[in-house]
Every structure is written in C-alpha cells, then in structure tokens.
Chains A and B, each alone.
Chain A
Amino acid sequence: QVQLQESGPGLVKPSETLSLTCTVSGGSISNYYWSWIRQPPGKGLEWIGHIYDSGSTNYNASLKSRVTISVDTSKDQFSLTLRSVTAADTAVYYCASALFPRRITVFDFDSWGQGILVTVSS
C-alpha cells in the first residue's frame, strides 16, 4: 500500500520561504498527480496545487504567485515551496493523491500523508 510522508521545518519566519517534501513509499510516483493541501488550525481545507510525474503543474490562483511544486522521480519525492510567508500561511500541510483505480478525477484524494504543522512566526 502506498504511503505518503511529509517532512520539513515546523517553524518559518515571516517573509521567508516554506519548503516541504513528500516522500512516496510502497509504490511509484509515476503516472499520478500529486497534490499539496493545507488546513489552518480549526479551519477548512485549501488545495494548493499539483504536479504530474512529467513535471507539469497546476496551482490555485490564490497562491500561484508564491508557489512552486517540483518532483524528483528518482527519489519518489515531490516538494512544495511557498515564498514570502505570513502568519496566514500557518497551517497543517498535507500531501495527497488519487491512486485508487475507480477514481473519477485526479482530485478524489484517497491517499494522504499524516500532515505537518508549519507555524509562521518570528
């Protein structure tokens, strides 16, 4: 069974860059879309963007100017970079994907990492 695991710093200073990595184990990163989703404490879920194994990306317009998602297929990892962070970027960040065969769209997220809390504070 495929597992996803987020890693990265839990504390980032305002105006700096947030960088997270998701490692995919138990399966290949190839032929799927890989998403980042975040959830501010006590609030709802926001899709940040996704990447295909070819490197093709699609971002939420609300964050597009500050976000980059990249993939390293040799390591079965994909990464999130969010620039110029503020306190509003404090959230649990999840990596997720739609892996099951009967999915209807690439947004049917059946596989999630455990999440990593990133706090933006000086």
Chain B
Amino acid sequence: DIQMTQSPSSLSASVGDRVTITCRASQTISTYLNWYQQKPGKAPKLLIYGVSDLQSGVPSRFSGGGSGTDFTLTIRSLQPEDFATYFCQHTYNTPPTFGQGTRVEI
C-alpha cells in the first residue's frame, strides 16, 4: 500500500494567516491526490481533487499543488470556519489511503 505522510500533525494559526500543509507519498502517484476537510463529529468534505481542482462550492482561498510524491494544501487567508482537520488521500491505485491528518487550531 502507498503510505501518505502529512506534516505537521497540528499547527496553531490565527485568522488571516497563510497556512501550508504538506503531504508526501511513499511512491509516485502522479496527480492522483485529494484533500479533505473534517470538522468534529462530521464526515470529511472533499476540498480539492486531482492535486489542484477545487470541488464545487469550495472557496478560492484553498489551493493545492505538487506532483509525483510531494504535495501541498495552502489556505491563503485563514477564516474562522477553516479551523478543522485536513487529510490528504491518494487515488492512484487500490487501496486509496489517507494521510494521518493535520489539525489546524487557533
């Protein structure tokens, strides 16, 4: 299975900050990389698919980049509703696996 490693595991930030989360795959996954946001007690929400395509309804302050094995999720200007846990996921082959999550907190 492809292992997905996120860093950092958690971070503290303030409203208005620019935040970057990284995700590294244990082997090349081309551009088969998604990002999800999860709030406590809720199901994950798809934010970005195919490395950089924003899911419908997701604010443009979210962006994704990278290719091969190294990827990033950037939140340009953190808003109060962005405090959550973020997961990367590869979709290169079966099984699709997820990173361990990055908790973004105040």
Q: Which residues of B contact A115 (CB under 8 A)?
A: 43
- A63-122 contacts to B, CB under 8 A, are 94, 96, 100, 102-105, 107-110, 112-115
Pick from B64-72, B74-82, B90-98 the stretch touching chain A: B90-98
A107 near B53 with CB under 8 A, answer: no
> A45-B98, A103-B49 are contacts. A108–B91 as well, Cβ < 8 Å?
yes
Contacts of B44 in A (CB 8 A): 45, 94, 109, 112
Contact A105 B87 (CB under 8 A): no
**What is the total number of residues of chain B having a CB less than 8 Å from a CB of chain A?**
25
What's the Cα separation between A96 and B43 when bound, in Å?
A: 10
- Residues of B at the A interface (CB closer than 8 Å) are 1, 32, 34, 36, 42-46, 49-50, 53, 55-56, 87, 89, 91, 94-101
Could you tell me how many residues of chain A have their Cβ less than 8 Å away from some Cβ of chain B? 24
Bound Cα distance from A96 to B45, whole angstroms? 11
Q: How far is the CA of A79 from the CA of B98 in the complex (A)?
A: 23
Residue among A58, A103, A113, A115 facing the most chain B CB atoms (10 A cut-off): A103
Are A58 and B94 touching (Cβ within 8 A)? yes
Q: Which 5 A-B pairs have the closest CB atoms?
A: A112-B43, A107-B91, A107-B96, A105-B91, A45-B98
